[in-house]
Amino acid sequence: MLQGNLKKMSTEAIDGKVSYYLDLGETRVFVNDLLGKKVSLHINGTIHCTKCGKVTKKSFSQGFCYNCFRKSASCDVCIMSPEKCHFHLGTCREPEWAEQFCMQSHYVYLANSSALKVGITRGDQLPTRWIDQGATQARPLFRVSNRRMSGLVEVLFKSEVADKTNWRNMLKGLSVEMDLEREQERLIGQLYEGLDALQSEFGLQSITDLSDENETFSFEYPVLEYPTKITSINAEKTPQIEGTLMGIKGQYWILDTGVINIRKYTGYEATLTF
Protein backbone atom coordinates (compact mmCIF):
# COMPACT_ATOMS: atom_id res chain seq x y z
CA MET A 1 0.00 0.00 0.00
CA LEU A 2 1.39 3.39 -1.03
CA GLN A 3 0.17 6.82 0.04
CA GLY A 4 0.89 10.36 -1.09
CA ASN A 5 -0.20 13.23 -3.31
CA LEU A 6 -0.86 12.34 -6.92
CA LYS A 7 1.33 13.88 -9.62
CA LYS A 8 1.45 13.69 -13.38
CA MET A 9 3.11 10.43 -14.37
CA SER A 10 6.72 10.68 -15.52
CA THR A 11 7.51 9.08 -18.85
CA GLU A 12 10.35 7.91 -21.03
CA ALA A 13 10.51 6.40 -24.49
CA ILE A 14 13.22 3.97 -25.51
CA ASP A 15 13.11 2.99 -29.20
CA GLY A 16 9.60 4.38 -29.22
CA LYS A 17 8.30 2.13 -26.43
CA VAL A 18 6.77 4.23 -23.65
CA SER A 19 7.31 3.62 -19.93
CA TYR A 20 5.33 5.26 -17.14
CA TYR A 21 6.29 6.04 -13.54
CA LEU A 22 4.08 7.27 -10.71
CA ASP A 23 5.66 9.02 -7.73
CA LEU A 24 3.45 8.51 -4.68
CA GLY A 25 4.87 9.59 -1.36
CA GLU A 26 8.51 8.50 -1.24
CA THR A 27 8.00 5.64 -3.68
CA ARG A 28 8.25 5.50 -7.47
CA VAL A 29 6.04 2.88 -9.10
CA PHE A 30 6.84 1.48 -12.55
CA VAL A 31 3.25 1.50 -13.77
CA ASN A 32 3.95 -0.76 -16.75
CA ASP A 33 4.51 -3.59 -14.26
CA LEU A 34 0.90 -3.28 -13.11
CA LEU A 35 -0.55 -4.20 -16.49
CA GLY A 36 -3.00 -7.07 -16.19
CA LYS A 37 -3.14 -6.73 -12.40
CA LYS A 38 -5.99 -5.60 -10.16
CA VAL A 39 -5.32 -2.18 -8.69
CA SER A 40 -7.16 0.00 -6.20
CA LEU A 41 -6.77 3.78 -6.07
CA HIS A 42 -8.53 5.56 -3.22
CA ILE A 43 -8.88 9.36 -3.36
CA ASN A 44 -9.48 10.57 0.19
CA GLY A 45 -10.69 14.08 -0.71
CA THR A 46 -7.80 16.13 0.67
CA ILE A 47 -6.11 18.38 -1.93
CA HIS A 48 -2.77 20.16 -1.53
CA CYS A 49 -1.92 23.08 -3.80
CA THR A 50 1.08 22.12 -5.93
CA LYS A 51 2.51 25.64 -5.67
CA CYS A 52 2.09 26.74 -2.04
CA GLY A 53 1.32 23.34 -0.46
CA LYS A 54 -1.76 24.53 1.42
CA VAL A 55 -4.89 22.41 1.69
CA THR A 56 -7.58 23.61 -0.72
CA LYS A 57 -11.21 22.59 -1.00
CA LYS A 58 -11.08 22.71 -4.79
CA SER A 59 -8.34 22.22 -7.37
CA PHE A 60 -7.95 24.84 -10.09
CA SER A 61 -6.03 24.26 -13.31
CA GLN A 62 -4.96 20.77 -12.23
CA GLY A 63 -3.47 21.31 -8.80
CA PHE A 64 -3.64 24.96 -7.69
CA CYS A 65 -5.54 26.63 -4.89
CA TYR A 66 -7.65 29.63 -5.92
CA ASN A 67 -5.12 32.21 -4.69
CA CYS A 68 -2.24 30.64 -6.65
CA PHE A 69 -4.49 30.14 -9.64
CA ARG A 70 -5.22 33.89 -9.70
CA LYS A 71 -1.59 34.97 -9.17
CA SER A 72 0.57 32.39 -10.96
CA ALA A 73 1.83 33.05 -14.47
CA SER A 74 1.48 29.32 -15.15
CA CYS A 75 -2.31 29.74 -14.81
CA ASP A 76 -2.69 32.90 -16.88
CA VAL A 77 -4.78 33.01 -20.05
CA CYS A 78 -1.65 32.92 -22.20
CA ILE A 79 -0.83 29.38 -21.07
CA MET A 80 -3.87 28.05 -22.94
CA SER A 81 -3.62 30.74 -25.65
CA PRO A 82 0.11 31.55 -26.05
CA GLU A 83 -0.58 34.15 -28.73
CA LYS A 84 -2.09 36.25 -25.91
CA CYS A 85 1.25 36.46 -24.07
CA HIS A 86 1.63 39.95 -22.60
CA PHE A 87 5.20 39.73 -21.32
CA HIS A 88 6.29 42.32 -23.90
CA LEU A 89 3.70 44.72 -22.47
CA GLY A 90 5.25 44.52 -19.00
CA THR A 91 2.14 43.01 -17.43
CA CYS A 92 3.29 39.41 -16.83
CA ARG A 93 2.23 38.03 -13.43
CA GLU A 94 5.68 36.56 -12.76
CA PRO A 95 8.35 37.96 -15.11
CA GLU A 96 11.13 35.78 -13.67
CA TRP A 97 9.05 32.64 -14.22
CA ALA A 98 8.31 33.76 -17.77
CA GLU A 99 11.99 34.40 -18.46
CA GLN A 100 12.68 30.77 -17.59
CA PHE A 101 9.72 29.04 -19.21
CA CYS A 102 8.29 31.32 -21.90
CA MET A 103 11.16 33.42 -23.22
CA GLN A 104 13.01 30.46 -24.66
CA SER A 105 12.88 28.39 -27.82
CA HIS A 106 9.63 26.53 -28.44
CA TYR A 107 8.60 24.03 -31.08
CA VAL A 108 5.53 23.92 -33.27
CA TYR A 109 4.75 20.32 -34.24
CA LEU A 110 2.34 17.99 -35.96
CA ALA A 111 1.09 14.95 -34.06
CA ASN A 112 -1.15 11.98 -34.72
CA SER A 113 -3.08 10.94 -31.62
CA SER A 114 -6.72 10.50 -32.58
CA ALA A 115 -6.14 12.40 -35.83
CA LEU A 116 -3.80 15.04 -37.22
CA LYS A 117 -3.24 18.01 -34.91
CA VAL A 118 -0.92 20.95 -34.47
CA GLY A 119 0.64 21.77 -31.10
CA ILE A 120 3.40 23.68 -29.33
CA THR A 121 5.84 22.96 -26.52
CA ARG A 122 9.16 24.00 -25.04
CA GLY A 123 12.18 22.21 -26.43
CA ASP A 124 12.92 20.55 -23.09
CA GLN A 125 9.42 19.00 -23.11
CA LEU A 126 10.04 16.75 -26.11
CA PRO A 127 9.01 13.96 -26.33
CA THR A 128 7.13 14.28 -23.01
CA ARG A 129 4.47 16.54 -24.49
CA TRP A 130 3.72 14.10 -27.28
CA ILE A 131 3.45 11.15 -24.91
CA ASP A 132 1.18 13.10 -22.53
CA GLN A 133 -1.19 13.61 -25.46
CA GLY A 134 -1.11 9.95 -26.43
CA ALA A 135 0.43 10.67 -29.84
CA THR A 136 1.46 7.64 -31.87
CA GLN A 137 3.45 9.86 -34.26
CA ALA A 138 4.90 13.36 -34.01
CA ARG A 139 7.09 15.63 -36.10
CA PRO A 140 8.51 19.08 -35.24
CA LEU A 141 7.75 21.74 -37.87
CA PHE A 142 9.46 24.87 -36.60
CA ARG A 143 11.69 26.10 -33.82
CA VAL A 144 10.57 29.58 -32.77
CA SER A 145 12.01 32.27 -30.55
CA ASN A 146 9.53 32.21 -27.64
CA ARG A 147 6.13 31.03 -26.45
CA ARG A 148 4.20 33.94 -27.93
CA MET A 149 5.67 33.25 -31.36
CA SER A 150 4.72 29.57 -31.07
CA GLY A 151 1.15 30.64 -30.39
CA LEU A 152 1.05 32.96 -33.39
CA VAL A 153 2.30 30.16 -35.67
CA GLU A 154 -0.14 27.68 -34.13
CA VAL A 155 -3.06 30.05 -34.73
CA LEU A 156 -2.02 30.23 -38.37
CA PHE A 157 -2.03 26.43 -38.68
CA LYS A 158 -5.35 26.10 -36.81
CA SER A 159 -7.05 27.47 -39.93
CA GLU A 160 -6.19 24.15 -41.62
CA VAL A 161 -5.76 21.54 -38.88
CA ALA A 162 -7.18 20.91 -35.38
CA ASP A 163 -5.25 21.82 -32.24
CA LYS A 164 -7.12 19.48 -29.91
CA THR A 165 -6.94 15.73 -29.30
CA ASN A 166 -10.14 13.69 -29.32
CA TRP A 167 -9.22 11.93 -26.09
CA ARG A 168 -11.97 9.32 -26.41
CA ASN A 169 -10.75 8.21 -29.84
CA MET A 170 -7.16 8.35 -28.59
CA LEU A 171 -8.04 5.91 -25.79
CA LYS A 172 -9.78 3.61 -28.25
CA GLY A 173 -6.54 3.37 -30.24
CA LEU A 174 -8.20 4.64 -33.41
CA SER A 175 -5.32 6.63 -34.91
CA VAL A 176 -4.19 5.48 -38.36
CA GLU A 177 -0.57 5.89 -39.44
CA MET A 178 0.04 9.09 -41.39
CA ASP A 179 2.78 10.49 -43.58
CA LEU A 180 3.56 13.53 -41.42
CA GLU A 181 6.33 14.70 -43.72
CA ARG A 182 3.83 14.96 -46.57
CA GLU A 183 1.34 16.74 -44.28
CA GLN A 184 4.10 19.16 -43.30
CA GLU A 185 4.84 19.99 -46.93
CA ARG A 186 1.14 20.40 -47.70
CA LEU A 187 0.44 22.75 -44.82
CA ILE A 188 3.53 24.91 -45.30
CA GLY A 189 2.62 25.20 -48.98
CA GLN A 190 -0.82 26.48 -48.02
CA LEU A 191 0.31 28.80 -45.24
CA TYR A 192 3.66 30.19 -46.45
CA GLU A 193 2.26 33.71 -46.93
CA GLY A 194 1.23 33.89 -43.28
CA LEU A 195 4.61 32.53 -42.16
CA ASP A 196 6.40 35.11 -44.32
CA ALA A 197 4.29 37.85 -42.76
CA LEU A 198 5.26 36.76 -39.23
CA GLN A 199 8.94 36.70 -40.16
CA SER A 200 8.64 40.14 -41.73
CA GLU A 201 7.15 41.48 -38.49
CA PHE A 202 9.34 39.67 -35.95
CA GLY A 203 12.52 38.91 -37.92
CA LEU A 204 13.80 35.94 -39.91
CA GLN A 205 15.34 34.40 -36.79
CA SER A 206 11.93 34.23 -35.08
CA ILE A 207 10.90 31.10 -37.04
CA THR A 208 13.26 28.33 -38.14
CA ASP A 209 11.87 25.81 -40.62
CA LEU A 210 12.98 22.30 -39.62
CA SER A 211 11.86 20.54 -42.82
CA ASP A 212 15.36 19.56 -43.91
CA GLU A 213 16.65 18.29 -40.57
CA ASN A 214 13.71 16.55 -38.95
CA GLU A 215 12.29 13.09 -38.59
CA THR A 216 8.96 11.61 -37.63
CA PHE A 217 8.89 10.00 -34.18
CA SER A 218 6.68 7.00 -33.40
CA PHE A 219 5.44 5.75 -30.01
CA GLU A 220 4.12 2.43 -28.75
CA TYR A 221 2.08 2.50 -25.55
CA PRO A 222 1.74 -0.22 -22.89
CA VAL A 223 -1.81 -1.31 -23.68
CA LEU A 224 -3.06 -4.89 -23.42
CA GLU A 225 -6.50 -4.11 -24.81
CA TYR A 226 -8.18 -0.92 -25.98
CA PRO A 227 -11.77 -0.31 -24.85
CA THR A 228 -14.55 -0.13 -27.44
CA LYS A 229 -16.58 2.16 -25.19
CA ILE A 230 -15.09 4.89 -23.01
CA THR A 231 -16.43 5.23 -19.46
CA SER A 232 -14.76 8.13 -17.67
CA ILE A 233 -14.22 7.77 -13.92
CA ASN A 234 -14.83 10.88 -11.79
CA ALA A 235 -12.74 10.33 -8.66
CA GLU A 236 -14.67 12.97 -6.70
CA LYS A 237 -17.90 11.05 -7.25
CA THR A 238 -16.28 7.60 -7.12
CA PRO A 239 -13.29 7.95 -4.76
CA GLN A 240 -12.69 4.20 -4.57
CA ILE A 241 -11.44 3.18 -8.02
CA GLU A 242 -10.84 -0.50 -8.65
CA GLY A 243 -10.23 -2.64 -11.69
CA THR A 244 -7.70 -4.49 -13.79
CA LEU A 245 -5.20 -2.19 -15.47
CA MET A 246 -5.48 -2.86 -19.20
CA GLY A 247 -3.28 -0.01 -20.43
CA ILE A 248 -1.67 3.38 -19.98
CA LYS A 249 -1.84 6.06 -22.65
CA GLY A 250 -1.46 9.82 -22.46
CA GLN A 251 -1.94 10.45 -18.76
CA TYR A 252 -4.80 7.94 -18.53
CA TRP A 253 -5.11 4.59 -16.83
CA ILE A 254 -7.29 2.27 -18.88
CA LEU A 255 -9.05 -0.08 -16.46
CA ASP A 256 -11.60 -2.76 -17.27
CA THR A 257 -14.02 -0.62 -15.22
CA GLY A 258 -13.34 2.70 -16.96
CA VAL A 259 -10.62 5.27 -17.63
CA ILE A 260 -9.14 7.87 -15.29
CA ASN A 261 -6.99 10.89 -16.07
CA ILE A 262 -4.28 10.76 -13.39
CA ARG A 263 -3.02 14.25 -14.19
CA LYS A 264 -6.46 15.74 -13.51
CA TYR A 265 -6.08 14.80 -9.83
CA THR A 266 -2.66 16.37 -9.26
CA GLY A 267 -2.34 17.33 -5.59
CA TYR A 268 -5.04 14.91 -4.37
CA GLU A 269 -4.06 12.60 -1.53
CA ALA A 270 -4.39 9.01 -2.65
CA THR A 271 -3.71 5.43 -1.56
CA LEU A 272 -2.65 2.86 -4.14
CA THR A 273 -2.79 -0.89 -3.54
CA PHE A 274 -1.99 -3.69 -5.97
Report the chain (274 residues): mean pLDDT per 10 consecutive residues.
95 98 94 98 95 96 96 96 97 97 97 96 95 98 97 97 96 94 96 98 96 92 97 96 98 98 97 97
Whole-number pLDDT of residue 44: 92
Distance of alpha carbon 12 from alpha carbon 147, whole angstroms: 24
Whole-number pLDDT of residue 25: 86
pTM beyond cutoff 0.85: yes
What Cα–Cα distance (Å) separates residue 208 from each residue in 171, 211, 235?
33, 9, 43
Pairing of strands 258-261, 55-56: unpaired
Whole-number pLDDT of residue 214: 82
Distance of alpha carbon 143 from alpha carbon 100, whole angstroms: 17
